[in-house]
Amino acid sequence: MKSLNILFTAPRKVELVEEEVPQLKEDQVLCRTERSLISIGTETRCLEGKFEPGTNWASWVKYPFRPGYDNTAVVLEVGSAVTNVKPGDRVASGAQHRQYFVRGAANVQKIPDGVDMADATWIDILRVAQNVVRKCQIQMGDTVVVIGQGPIGQMVTQFARICGAMRIITVDPMAARAEMSWKSGATHVLTCGADEAKEALLEITGDKLADIVFDTTGYHKVLAWAVDLTRVYGKVGLVGDTVNPSLQAIGAGVVSKSISVIGAHGAMTAPSDNPFYPWTQKFTNEISMEYIAQKRIRCDHLISHTVSPMQAPEIYEALLTDRSSYLGVVFDWSLLQ
């Protein structure tokens, strides 16, 4: 069987390649992708290929590189030892942008009834957002600032609402993204850069600043601005991973205001179920899907573009040039059939 796959063959070069699908092993599943979501911040950085040595980016991205980690698919065949899914099941996984793929059965998750496949495509981005929100321990009554309203920022905004934040203030200079955050649960929206947000934040909070500030951008200058927006003994949740850490300053105030800077990564879940930290990848994904089923997490309003995988070179070029009008970009693999 042949599969049409998206490949970054070199920096700024995207190709569609036809490749043989590997033989199925006893603990694996063969799947046909229905939809895959571009993580527009992560994938454009992977495509640009400009990372400092020693970073997570430099060790991860090797060309040819296979992008993508938000995938929904239908199971076509299962290995003899597989018991968690069967042919015909709808599954979500971190599979890349591939028409067909073989993957360990333990690394796919059945999509429950009541959850649309289009919404389940966001499952890995939702896990990233869950991880940082959980680590920062939002309390009822908190004032939360979310810097950046790309895909991850929009989901952090939604989880902040679920966790009981009293004020959720979103900050993004891109007007379309900032406006969209109203639908994600923002109580206040600042259409500006984080370096310009302090005066408005002081007015909103009565000079108290924010209890928790999330930096979801990955832009090296933002951390220092986030610290400036945070109150004494407050917290900064850092989920955007910069490609230029040597340029990233923590700014003034981390020590003098006793601020906690908390990093979080989507892959950092518990390796196995335990009573002390039960948040495994499987459980975290189940939480997201339950919130989707309850209509407490919304994904539909975040889809800005749905395209054929055949348009991959053009869509990535557009994202590299100006992604201000792009938010949720989905490859619809059924358009190949």
What is the distance, to the nearest Å, from the Cα of residue 233 to the centroid of all Cα atoms in its chain?
A: 28
What pTM did the predictor assign?
0.95
| Residue ranges per structural domain of the chain | 2-122+299-336, 128-263
Residue 124 in contact with residue 96, Cβ under 8 Å? no
| Residue matched to tokens 């989707």 | 292
Per CATH, the number for 2-122+299-336 is: 3.90.180.10
**What is the tens place of the pLDDT at every residue in 53-92?**
999 999 999 999 999 999 999 999 999 999 999 999 999 9
**What is the tens place of the pLDDT at every residue in 188-235?**
999 999 999 999 999 999 999 999 999 999 999 999 999 999 999 999
Phi then psi for 315, rounded to 5 degrees?
-70, -40
Residues 127-149 have a mean pLDDT of 98
Helix axes 312-321, 40-48, angle to 10 degrees: 90
Q: How far apart are CA 248 and CA 261, in angstroms?
A: 13
Nearest in space to 67 (alpha carbons), one of 101, 96, 34: 96
Residue 190 in contact with residue 169, Cβ under 8 Å? yes
What is the pLDDT at residue 222? Answer: 97
**Could you name the CATH architecture of 128-263?**
3-Layer(aba) Sandwich (3.40)
**What is the tens place of the pLDDT at every residue in 263-278?**
999 888 888 888 888 9
What is the pLDDT at residue 324? Answer: 87
Q: How far apart are CA 204 and CA 199, in angstroms?
A: 9
**Cross-strand bridge partners of residue 37:** 70, 330
What is the pLDDT at residue 300? Answer: 94
| DSSP-derived secondary structure letter, 333 | G
pLDDT band for 253, please (50, 70, 90 cuts): very high
**What is the tens place of the pLDDT at every residue in 4-22?**
999 999 999 999 999 999 9
